[in-house]
């Protein structure tokens, strides 16, 4: 709730915004596409970016592939995830590295909800726009297949990804999807109004 912009990455979120808020959104803001467009614009505007998160293999391949596709892109640095809570000193060093790099955009690929927590905790400490982009790192690195366009259009990307990565994603989807549907139902039935809550 305290972020400057929260985008509807999934089709079901877009549908819910259109249904409940009359948002009239024609499409979602797909993380991998947002990442690529921001990188293209950064290259045109000579803005440095930083890649934070994921594995060493993924973040290095992502850097190399982005550089191949967008030669003018200035990647100021990369830092893979350590996949554990950071010490205060490690966290301080990471923030210092990002700030000293001169990057104005920091893409964070730590997975949901870790990347959102990281972005929240580092507001005002990282001197760059923080953009949490989830699986975009894996997709652009060429290590994870994207759902077919028709499945994306019909809001079934979650099912495709569950079939591809069942061990990693089953808990997330089986805990978040029912809660999402429950909260949407409460709003449709006017039993709960989240707009007035802070």
Tell how many helices (H) and how many strands (E) occur in the chain: 9, 4
pLDDT digits (tens, 9 = 90+) for 85-132: 999 999 999 999 999 999 999 999 998 889 999 999 999 999 999 999
Structure tokens at 81: 């995830």
Stated pTM of the model: 0.87
pLDDT digits (tens, 9 = 90+) for 169-183: 899 889 989 999 999
Residue 198 pLDDT greater than 50, yes or no: no
How many angstroms separate the CA atoms of 127 and 149, rounded?
A: 36
Q: CB-based contacts of 95: which residues, under 8 Å, 6+ apart?
A: 122, 125, 126
């Amino acid at each position: 709730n305290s972020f400057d912009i929260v985008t509807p990455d999934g089709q079901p979120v877009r549908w819910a915004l259109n249904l409940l808020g009359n948002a009239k959104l024609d499409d979602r803001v797909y993380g991998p596409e947002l990442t690529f467009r921001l990188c293209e614009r950064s290259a045109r505007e000579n803005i440095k970016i930083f890649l934070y998160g994921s594995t060493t293999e993924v973040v290095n391949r992502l850097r190399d592939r982005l550089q191949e596709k967008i030669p003018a892109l200035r990647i100021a640095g990369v830092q893979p995830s350590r996949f554990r809570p950071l010490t205060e000193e490690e966290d301080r060093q990471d923030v210092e590295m990002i700030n000293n790099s001169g990057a104005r955009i920091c893409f964070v690929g730590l997975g949901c909800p870790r990347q959102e927590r990281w972005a929240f905790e580092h507001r005002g400490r990282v001197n760059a726009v923080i953009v949490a982009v989830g699986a975009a790192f894996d997709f652009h690195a060429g290590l994870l297949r994207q759902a077919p366009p028709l499945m994306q259009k019909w809001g079934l990307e979650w099912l495709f990804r569950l079939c591809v990565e069942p061990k990693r994603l089953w808990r997330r989807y089986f805990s978040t999807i029912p809660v999402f549907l429950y909260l949407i139902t409460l709003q449709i039935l006017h039993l709960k109004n989240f707009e007035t809550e802070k």
